[in-house]
Amino acid sequence: MIPPMKPVIRRITRATAIVAALAALDSAGLTASGLVQGAQAQDTAAQSDASDMVTSFVLDNGMQVVVIEDHRAPVVQHMVWYRAGSADEPVGQSGVAHFLEHLLFKATDKLEAGELSATVAANGGRDNAFTSYDYTAYFQRVAADRLGLMMQMESDRMVNIRLTEQDIETEREVILEERNQRTDSEPRALFREQLNAAQYLNHRYGQPIIGWRHEMEELDMADALSFYGTYYAPNNAILVVSGDVDPEEVRRLAEETYGQIPANPDLPERVRSKEPPQTAARRIVFKDPRVAQPFVQRSYLAPERDKGAQERAAALYLLAELLGGGSTSYLTNALQFDQQVAVYTGVFYSDVSLDDTTFDFLVVPGADVSLEEAEAALDATFTRFLEDGVDEAQLERIKLQLRAAEIYARDNVDGIANRYGRALASGLTVEDVQAWPRILQSITADEIIAVAREVLRPEVSVTGWMMRDEEVSQ
């Protein structure tokens, strides 16, 4: 069946109009405030359309299900998110969440090792999985009429994994080699690992997702099965299905597969170790002869998006865009173009997180500019930003760009499923996800400066210098 074209044309028209108007504003050097008001009615309607296409319900065993309809192509993204990541690991078992992710591609009661992925490929689809601090997720992207098959296989490995000692030995070597390639052989990854460990004094976010090598080497069958038995249960999982699907059909299939699995009555409350008050700025210096380009990075402990209270996070999100979001940002103009002390500047805020997250600055100094000089220029420029306040025209332009990006994002079935899955696994709700674009648009310049002064304080910061080992390089 060919999906109706009118909604598609309407979506494209909105997105194209906003982007074209934005380009016209940039070329003319005009403010965006008038256009923002003019586009608001269209954007509100677009947000309403998106909200109407999301259905959420809970199975009797406690499994949450989110269905996001998009009937423009006969494909579906099927994802299962577990509310268990590296920050939920027992002390001394860092890396076990990621280790278990690998092991779930082994045999089950019904499938041989590797058969799930082979079946997905034979049906013209693709599959994979990933682990983060707050969640582990498994997904398949296939033709819409293969959804039931995906649910059968995924629900099977939720409870029926069958491991051998050979599986444990093989996959332990695989994850150790993954650490070799992605972390130990990459100075920037080692630097970030040390910076992160210094940022979190007590919280498990201070350990690497892949794990510390000495603990990874000790992971065994009991560790993997204990984590599996504790957290892999329907009442600790979120099913997200996006694409050419009918919510009632998804409900029927989910009840036939996942709905037959009993809830885990012993699922522990999700309680993490808390950060104590951070009262002293910290510094690290990381030296490595393999460093190609030294840089300065500063990390601040910062609040995340919270259920029903996303305003502070929205202000930090916009602050990051204003300071480091592209070639017209404040730091780029000041440090790269005006002062010419940097060849790159970046500002990053990780808004989706179960617990306190980070707000980061990065400055790569230019030739003959020391790290000390680059850091001093960063401090002076940020102080001046707080004194000058937010450029209202720039803020409105960023908000306009965000609205255009939000509309284009609806064309990405994978991206939408990821957005809802990450948020729900991190303590947010469907309503929070849908409210986020509106909250971003509501934040004022004064609120941004107030949050910057409140959050970005020296005592909650870690400043790192990534540099060459002079003794080796001479």
Query: Which residues are the active-site residues?
Result: 101
Spell out the SS3 assignment of 201-247.
CCCHHHCCCCCCHHHHCCCCHHHHHHHHHHHCCHHHEEEEEEECCCH
> What DSSP letter does each residue of 49-113 carry, written as one string?
HHHHTEEEEE-TTS-EEEEEE-TTSSEEEEEEEES--GGGSPTT-TTHHHHHHHHTTS-BSS--T
User: Cα separation of 57 and 309, whole Å?
Assistant: 23
- Among residues 93, 65, 63, the alpha carbon closest in space to that of 78 is found at 65
Q: How many CB atoms lie within 10 A of CB 250?
A: 23
* Cα-based distances in Å from 340 to 327, 360, 378: 14, 21, 12
User: Cα separation of 395 and 441, whole Å?
Assistant: 10
User: Cα separation of 446 and 292, whole Å?
Assistant: 40
Helix (H, G, I), strand (E, B) or coil at 397: helix
User: Cα separation of 371 and 344, whole Å?
Assistant: 13
User: Cα separation of 337 and 331, whole Å?
Assistant: 9
Please say whether the beta carbons of 314 and 440 come within 8 A: yes
Please say whether the beta carbons of 49 and 81 come within 8 A: no
Please say whether the beta carbons of 356 and 201 come within 8 A: no
